């Protein structure tokens, strides 16, 4: 698919992931130790797509510093940085000068096993202006429903239908394959939403859009609970991303004493775990994490250089880089702790807390 370009939308502020996104833009949030965007790029490379445009806006330097011109990955990466957010279609219009033909569009926060080559074959067989990846869900009320006939021809879009009033269960899964002409339907110079404005307008003007419904693994990483679920699914192998489930990562090879580990876990290099601690199941420890004697860390993702003091407990939570959890402290389930924050010795952090030096 060397002739197809990819545009990845990475300009959102990621408000729902705060305070993580105060210090790291959402696309650079790690999945099992690697920035999610790097994992997405790898997937494109494997599908033979090497010409990528990143439509950024919020904290773009973290992205440009990491990927540069893409040559390290064997890719060509072009950036468009928005001064003010242009929305999901406005961002595409903004990069129109770099688009030479047919292109994929990816929401930058979707983890999926979708096979891009199959989507391309389907698109070519249908011959429409665009193909939209859809996923069937039991309750579509939090999503954008896409109504289509048996042949896949899309007829309507219904954003976030009231519970019980949804016209169908197939929802927009955030990957599109579009012909260049679609860019002509997007007005320039203002924010435009592709789901709410551009797609409905295309249908109304007689252009054909097709639904590509699959039962792939699919999750939006933009909410803390989904971020943890995604890790659980990656660690269990439900979402194929790591080589083998169990104890993975460079830190696993360094591990001398496995008594403290409850599989599955992913350990990055330089992690230090006291043999009397309990780590797992479903735990990711980033580079240089330190877990003290008798501490318990379960169902949680810890970024780099996090220290969990002796007898502390961390459950179902996300701790950004540099967090310190004091001796005997307890982090309640559903908590998100921002970069460099210190939780004092013995403190009981309520379930669902958001802690950061900025809030």
Residues near ligand GTP (CB under 6 A) are 9-16, 26, 55, 57, 82, 85-88, 91, 107-109, 222
Q: Of 93 and 330, which has the nearer Cβ to ligand GTP?
A: 93
Q: Is 275 exposed, middle or buried (0-12, 13-18, 19+ CB in 10 A)?
A: exposed
Q: Of 237 and 352, which has the nearer Cβ to ligand GTP?
A: 352
Give me the least distance between CB of 320 and ligand GTP, in Å please: 16
Give me the least distance between CB of 119 and ligand GTP, in Å please: 18
Q: Of 13 and 299, which has the nearer Cβ to ligand GTP?
A: 13
Q: Of 88 and 317, which has the nearer Cβ to ligand GTP?
A: 88
**Which residues make beta-bridge pairs with 8?**
54, 106
Give me the least distance between CB of 14 and ligand GTP, in Å please: 5
CB within 8 A of 4, min separation 6: which ones?
49, 51, 101, 102, 103, 104, 120, 177
Q: Of 14 and 249, which has the nearer Cβ to ligand GTP?
A: 14
Of 169, 50, 173, nearest in space to 111 by CA: 173
Check: CB of residue 67 under 8 Å from CB of residue 41. yes
Distances (CA, A) of 352 to 170, 225, 300, 331: 31, 10, 13, 9
Give me the least distance between CB of 13 and ligand GTP, in Å please: 5
Give me the least distance between CB of 322 and ligand GTP, in Å please: 23
- Separation of alpha carbons 132 and 174, rounded Å: 8
CB within 8 A of 90, min separation 6: which ones?
82, 186, 190, 191, 192
Give me the least distance between CB of 121 and ligand GTP, in Å please: 26
CB within 8 A of 91, min separation 6: which ones?
7, 9, 11, 55, 57, 80, 82, 85
Give me the least distance between CB of 159 and ligand GTP, in Å please: 11
Give me the least distance between CB of 158 and ligand GTP, in Å please: 17
Tokens of 325: 């959890």
Distances (CA, A) of 224 to 16, 220, 305, 319, 336: 7, 10, 20, 11, 8
Q: Of 38 and 252, which has the nearer Cβ to ligand GTP?
A: 38
Tokens of 322: 């540099």
Distances (CA, A) of 11 to 132, 144, 323: 21, 20, 26
Q: Of 32 and 92, which has the nearer Cβ to ligand GTP?
A: 92
Q: Of 12 and 249, which has the nearer Cβ to ligand GTP?
A: 12
């Amino acid at each position: 698919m060397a002739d197809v370009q990819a545009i990845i939308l990475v300009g959102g502020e990621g408000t729902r992931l705060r305070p993580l996104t105060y210090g790291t833009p959402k696309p650079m949030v790690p999945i099992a130790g690697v920035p999610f965007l790097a994992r997405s790029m790898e997937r494109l490379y494997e599908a033979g797509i090497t010409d990528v445009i990143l439509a950024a806006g919020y904290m773009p330097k973290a992205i440009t510093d990491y990927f540069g011109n893409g040559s390290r990955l064997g890719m060509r990466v072009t950036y468009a940085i928005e001064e003010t957010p242009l929305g999901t279609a406005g961002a595409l219009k903004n990069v129109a000068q770099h688009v030479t033909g047919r292109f994929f569009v990816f929401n930058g926060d979707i983890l999926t096993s979708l096979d891009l080559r199959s989507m391309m074959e389907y698109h070519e067989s249908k011959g429409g202006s665009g193909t939209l990846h859809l996923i069937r869900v039991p309750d579509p009320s939090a999503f954008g429903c896409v109504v289509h006939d048996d042949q896949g021809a899309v007829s309507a879009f219904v954003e976030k239908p009231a519970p019980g009033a949804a016209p169908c269960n197939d929802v927009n899964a955030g990957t599109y394959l579009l012909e260049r002409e679609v860019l002509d339907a997007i007005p320039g110079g203002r924010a435009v939403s592709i789901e709410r404005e551009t797609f409905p307008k295309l249908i109304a003007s007689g252009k054909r859009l097709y639904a590509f419904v699959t039962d792939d693994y699919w999750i939006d990483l933009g909410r803390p609970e989904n971020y943890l679920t995604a890790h659980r699914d990656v660690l269990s192998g439900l979402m194929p991303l790591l080589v083998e489930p169990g104890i993975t990562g460079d830190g696993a090879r360094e591990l001398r004493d496995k008594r403290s580990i409850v599989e599955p876990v992913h350990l990055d290099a330089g992690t230090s775990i006291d043999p009397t601690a309990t780590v797992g199941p479903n735990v990711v420890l980033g580079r240089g994490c330190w877990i003290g004697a008798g501490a318990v860390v379960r169902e949680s993702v810890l970024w780099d250089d996090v220290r969990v003091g002796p007898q502390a407990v961390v459950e179902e939570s996300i701790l950004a880089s540099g967090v310190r959890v004091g001796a005997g402290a307890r982090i309640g389930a559903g908590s998100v702790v921002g970069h460099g924050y210190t939780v004092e010795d013995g403190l009981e952090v309520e379930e669902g807390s958001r802690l950061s030096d900025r809030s």
